[in-house]
Structure 1
């Protein structure tokens, strides 16, 4: 791999280049949940749907929003959170950020109101890369890699996420944040 190519680790964000050309990831920010030699699993953080968790899980009474985690297996449900104290078997992604866990506990905590919507996000589908695929996309400069923390991830409004991550990175990235979706409109 090219030494100028950024390395990726669990908890990193993949920020889509402004003119990537892939409609699945236009202006997307993907959280890397698991990255290894075998491949990469991630969740798009800023593609909100009109569907709520209560629409797909009838035992849940709360109207928590669902996000499109990616184009792969959109019949699956995934979640990230910052409450391992309430959810057993959580998988640590990075400091204060967890993926998956005991879904029965999640449903119960959501229904009781002990798990607030600002502490958990639900996704249908996921983003996946086979062995070496993400590395190749990084060489092609399709993604900008950034570090994050759980507070920024959960506290930043969805519609401001792509720009917010780039602005926070500063320098040349701050100017990229202002690129129009269609450069002909500039």
Structure 2
């Protein structure tokens, strides 16, 4: 079975070999951009202790915010599945879109017209320069998989990484049940 290559819309799954990387330990990253020059994505399974109204008090909404990655952690980004409601959305793949008109989004959130399963917010993003991601893939820091979720925003982030390892099979099944803290083993 050949390895999948990175592509916009696919998922990067952190290999067990990078368990001591604070940013990417057990991470699942949705690639929202992949070109010859760079790659950009957002970590789907690292919720933070904040919600939208904690960061933007003018928005009356308690949707969770996630750690998107180690780059530009003072910026808020969003990925969604409501392009018909947000002008200037950029299609990623499989009904998932990135960005769009923030004023429209603010109005939708304040009106209570969105479900949390429609959108996910991130502080920061994950980014790679030319050849950096390929080097990390060659170094077994990640493996690439299709985004086969009907809705990536309604998945249980606690089990997301484990389920992707179980799906991959082989030796990955052993790692899927490893404790977060090996000192507990």
Question: Structure 1 length normalisation: TM-score?
Answer: 0.90
Give the match for residue 8 of structure 1. Answer: 6
Distance in 1 (CA, whole Å) between partners of 2:167 and 2:49 is 28
Question: In structure 2, what is the Cα distance between the partners aligned to 1:110 and 1:44?
Answer: 22
Match of 1:135 in 2: 134
> Which sections of structure 2, spanning at least 5 residues, go unmatched?
none
Contact 1:18 1:181 in 2 (8 A): no
Unaligned 5+ segments in structure 1 are none
Segments ≥4 residues shifted beyond 4 Å: 182-186
Q: Check whether the contact 2:17–2:140 (CA below 8 A) recurs between aligned residues.
A: no
- The Cα of 1:98 is off from its aligned counterpart by 0.7
Give the aligned partner of residue 19 of structure 1.
Answer: 17
CA contact (8 A) 1:39 1:130 kept: yes
The Cα shift of 1:171 comes to 4.7
Q: CA deviation at 1:52?
A: 0.9
What secondary structure does 2:105 align onto?
helix
Question: Displacement of 1:154 after TM fit?
Answer: 1.7
Q: Which residue of 2 aligns with 1:59?
A: 58
Structure 1 residue 87, shift from structure 2 partner: 1.1
Secondary structure of the 1:176 match is: helix
Preserved contact between residue 3 and residue 144 of structure 2 (Cα < 8 Å): no
Q: Give how far 1:10 is off.
A: 0.5
Equivalent runs, 1:24-173 vs 2, <5 Å: 24-149=23-148, 151-173=150-172
> For this pair of structures, how many residues does the alignment match?
183
CA RMSD of aligned residues (A): 1.8
Deviations along 1:1-26, whole A, 9 cap, x unmatched? xxx66411001111111131321111
